Structure 1
Amino acid sequence: MTLRFSRRPLALLAALAVSAGIAAIGSAALAADDGHARLKADLESKLNIKVDSITKSGYLGLYEVYADGTLFYTDEKGSAYVFGNLVDAKTRQSVTEARMAKLNAIKFADLPLESAVKQVKGNGSRTLVTFEDPNCGYCKRLAKDLQKLDNVTIYTFLYPILSQDSVDKAKQIWCSADKAKAWNDLMVDGRAPSGKGDCATPTQKIVELGQKYNIRGTPTLVFTDGERIPGAVPLDRIEKKLASLGK
């Protein structure tokens, strides 16, 4: 997966966690009458982050903190924090991964599909959305795999986050007479788009959309149930997910 947008505050926290294991972050207490307000304010002040939510994890008295698209854990006094996967001992399933999938879900109906490159394969009965950069190597690998997918409608948002050249190619593809062909010519066959890219394009709108949804790397896949999966997902996993949505 190609990464682009960084999250400096949480990257700093991760570095501190590696060097110190468990780091002290203050002694703000959770008062019974103000919920999580004091803990939230303490975290935001000391760690320079914007906390989106704080909820009880149900494990070890820890609180789940969701900030900048990432989860970490702390106690009710904010005396220490923990990064990494929280795993249920009975089910051996990652509680963190399950929560991240729910918190990062995208409301599919809100996606502006008219601003995506559309491909219909077979009867087009299944639907898949991707965010991809024209210069992303993993996206090219995914594009080749998706050629083998049948009975699906694929909407590809041209998400040029790697370079100005990516922006130029995205505009050229969008301005082509056959957008899907221009996309596949580049990603599957390595033939650069020949258009001028001088028409009206939704490029900036798509970049802002990706930032809104905290999409920091390409490719990112989005399914109709709102689940997002980053990276060049194996074709069998895509097939399995699409099949589950059809049941």
Structure 2
Amino acid sequence: MLNTTNAAIASMSLLLGATAATSSPDVTALLKTRLPKTEVTGVDCTRIAGLCEVTAKENLFYVDASARYLIIGRVYDMETRQDLTAARLLELNPDMLVGGAAKANALANAGEVEASEGGRGSRSEPTVSRQVAQKVDLSSLSDAGAIVWGKGGQKVTVFSDFQCGYCRALSRELEQMNVTVIERPISVLGSRDIADRVLCASDQREAVRAAYAQMPVKAATCDTRGLDENEAFARKHGFSGTPVIVRSDGAVLEGYRPRAALIAWLKGA
């Protein structure tokens, strides 16, 4: 899928230089002709230069200004390190925050792709999503991307995003429990810059509190390759949303849980 997407983007970049920009109404009309079975609920050609964002109920995909090339996949802003597709899907569907952006990832890769009625027939593009591992081995992870805090007792690892509201709520619950939290930030909602600042902070615990409170975290410089390690591990095991909680025995729990449920689950170790 990634190679196909890259090829489509390369083709589009050449095409856009010679093609005048098409307005959203024109793109909408073309999509009705080319995707007659898809209920298009919105077209926005202003959000991302050179692309038109198309919403079809809960699905999100992209076309070029001529509505000839269709892209099903993820758009990343490499300057801000933000996943624009996931952020947009969460904006459209706030209920996705339950369990993080896992549903957003599936929706970003879902969509109906049809040939024209005069072509070779229609087909549906399958949903592409990765099953989250039920149990993982954390021993391959170094300490470089870990932020350790808590009162002691049992250890629990949390893959989190500092812009995730449920991660914030989970952090508050864990703070009231007798556990040592090994927080491993991953950037699902474009929070890599914040994670860099927290990891490099002289007082990481206070920086974590500030980040979740959406307060400024002082910029500092350090080796942040440990965060890359967190994100590679998360991708490998299908952690596409946050929070993801990992017990000391490697058992995985997705999403926010209230304190009583967390205590009961942790006892299972």
Same fold, TM-score > 0.5, yes or no:
yes
What residue in structure 1 maps to residue 197 of structure 2?
A: 172
- Provide the rounded CA distance (Å) in 2 between the counterparts of 1:104 and 1:10: 22
Confirm or deny that 1:148 pairs with 2:173: no
- The Cα shift of 1:9 comes to 9.9
User: Are the structure 2 counterparts of residues 243 and 167 from structure 1 closer, same or farther at C-alpha, using a change threshold of 3 Å?
Assistant: same
> Deviation string for 1:169-226 (max 9, x for gaps)?
0000011001122102322x442212x2422112222211110111010111011222
CA contact (8 A) 1:161 1:207 kept: no
Task: Report 1:27-46 matches (<5 A).
Answer: none
Q: Normalising by structure 2, report the TM-score.
A: 0.52
- The Cα shift of 1:68 comes to 4.9
**Secondary structure of the structure 1 residue equivalent to 2:211:** helix
- The runs of at least 4 aligned residues of structure 1 exceeding 4 Å deviation read 7-13, 46-49
- Provide the rounded CA distance (Å) in 2 between the counterparts of 1:199 and 1:142: 27
Task: Report 1:222-233 matches (<5 A).
Answer: 222-233=246-257
- Provide the rounded CA distance (Å) in 2 between the counterparts of 1:2 and 1:114: 24
What residue in structure 2 maps to residue 235 of structure 1?
A: 259
What residue identity is the alignment partner of 2:222? C
Q: Superposition RMSD on alpha carbons, in Å?
A: 2.9
Task: Report 1:125-144 matches (<5 A).
Answer: 125-144=153-172
Confirm or deny that 1:3 pairs with 2:115: no
- Provide the rounded CA distance (Å) in 2 between the counterparts of 1:114 and 1:200: 8
What residue in structure 2 maps to residue 120 of structure 1?
A: 150
What residue identity is the alignment partner of 2:181? I
What residue in structure 2 maps to residue 209 of structure 1?
A: 233
User: Are the structure 2 counterparts of residues 3 and 139 from structure 1 closer, same or farther at C-alpha, using a change threshold of 3 Å?
Assistant: same
- Provide the rounded CA distance (Å) in 2 between the counterparts of 1:136 and 1:9: 18
User: Are the structure 2 counterparts of residues 109 and 48 from structure 1 closer, same or farther at C-alpha, using a change threshold of 3 Å?
Assistant: same
- Provide the rounded CA distance (Å) in 1 between the counterparts of 2:192 and 2:211: 14
Confirm or deny that 1:198 pairs with 2:225: no
User: Are the structure 2 counterparts of residues 110 and 243 from structure 1 closer, same or farther at C-alpha, using a change threshold of 3 Å?
Assistant: same
Equivalences, count: 160
Confirm or deny that 1:162 pairs with 2:214: no
- The Cα shift of 1:236 comes to 0.8
> Deviation string for 1:137-186 (max 9, x for gaps)?
11111111112112x111000111211xx111000001100112210232
- The Cα shift of 1:238 comes to 1.0
- The Cα shift of 1:8 comes to 6.7
* Structure 2 residue runs without a partner (length 5+): 1-98, 113-123
- Provide the rounded CA distance (Å) in 2 between the counterparts of 1:221 and 1:162: 18
Task: Report 1:44-123 matches (<5 A).
Answer: 68-70=129-131, 104-121=134-151
- Provide the rounded CA distance (Å) in 2 between the counterparts of 1:48 and 1:207: 25
Q: Normalising by structure 1, report the TM-score.
A: 0.56
* Structure 1 residue runs without a partner (length 5+): 14-45, 50-66, 71-99
Counting aligned pairs with the same residue, the percent is 22
CA contact (8 A) 1:219 1:230 kept: yes
**Secondary structure of the structure 2 residue equivalent to 1:218:** coil
User: Are the structure 2 counterparts of residues 111 and 241 from structure 1 closer, same or farther at C-alpha, using a change threshold of 3 Å?
Assistant: farther
**Secondary structure of the structure 2 residue equivalent to 1:129:** strand
> Deviation string for 1:88-135 (max 9, x for gaps)?
xxxxxxxxxxxx7xx5310133343442100130xx230100000111
Greater RCO (Cα-Cα under 8 Å, separation 6 or more): 1
